[in-house]
Amino acid sequence: MEKKEYRKHVISVLVENQPGALARIIELFSSRGYNIESLNVGQTEDPTISRITMVAKGDEHTIEQIVKQLRRLIDVFKVRNLTDKKKLDRELLIVRLNVETAEKKEEVKRLVDIFGAQIVDVSQDTYTVELTGDEDQIDAFLQLIKPLGIREMARTGRVAMVRALQGDTFEDKH
């Protein structure tokens, strides 16, 4: 077997919107000792079907196996590894920043402008900022505001869809 190379994989799964389905999917990763970096579940255009977007680190062979095993789950409609596809890839960040001084306030406003973020909540000494973007944008933003003092943050992890240009939308399960 070739040398194992670990990288981040983005896997998109369409699944019956019913209890237990998510647990089965997560189990395929956890039973192999793979940590799921992020996981997103939400409704699709069909409310009985959920879309799961998960990001996990693993070697190619094992991720391929997981994809195959996901496909054979009874509740799963479609599975796609989006890692090497042209895709729309977003996550949401909400972060509360310390802005005790006027300079800090200005600095945050400036960065918010540049990144197309929004200030969504304000207190005497904090601004809460919301930003949507791909992983790189969010990482870059966080890096810049970190010195200001992050009080609390939450990020959603990725949701992703293949670009329409790609031609096909979603491969069949089998």
Partner 1 sequence: MKLSGAEILLEALRLEGVEKIFGYPGGAVLDIYDRLPFTNLQHYLTRHEQGAAHAADGYARVTGKVGVCFATSGPGATNLVTGLATAQIDSVPVVAFTGNVPTFMIGNDAFQEVDTVGVTRPITKHNFLVKDVKDLADTVKKAFYIAKTGRPGVVLVDLPKDVTREIADFFEEEYKAPPQIRSYKPVLKGHPGQIKKAAKAIASAERPVLYIGGGVVSSGASDLVVKLAEVAQIPMVATLMGLTAVPGKHPQFFGMLGMHGTYAANMAVSECDLLIAIGARFDDRVTGKLSEFAKNAKVIHIDVDSAEIGKNKPVDIPIVGDAKLILEELLPEVEKQVSKNREFLVSREKWLMKIRSWADRYPLYYEPNDRVIKPQFVIEKICEVTNGDAIITTDVGQHQMWVAQYYKFRFPRQLVTSGGLGTMGFGVPAAIGAKVGRPDKIVFCVSGDGSFQMNMQEIVTAVQYSIPIKVAIINNGFLGMVRQWQGIFYNKNYSQVHMDVQPDFVKLVEAMGGVGFRVERPQDVEKVLKEAMTINDRPVVIDFVVDREEDVFPMVPPGGSLKEMILPKYGKKSLEKAV
Q: Rounded to whole angstroms, how far apart are CA atoms 94 and 128?
A: 7
Q: Which of 133, 113, 25 is nearest to 75 (CA)?
A: 25
Q: What are phi and psi of 37, to 5 degrees?
A: -75, -45
- Pick between residue 28 and residue 94 the one whose CB is nearest to partner 1: 28
Among 136, 92, 133, CA closest to 116? 133
Residues of this chain that interact with partner 1 (CB under 8 A) are 1, 15-16, 19-20, 23-24, 27, 31, 64-65, 68-69, 71-77, 173-174
Closest approach of partner 1 to the CB of residue 74, in Å: 4
Provide, rounded to whole angstroms, the least separation between the CB of residue 168 and partner 1.
19
Amino acid at 132: T
Task: Please state the closest distance from residue 70 (CB atom) to partner 1, in A.
Answer: 9
Q: Quote the least distance from Cβ 93 to partner 1, whole Å.
A: 33
Integer Cα distance of 12 and 158 in angstroms? 10
Q: Between 62 and 156, name the residue whose CB sits nearer to partner 1.
A: 62
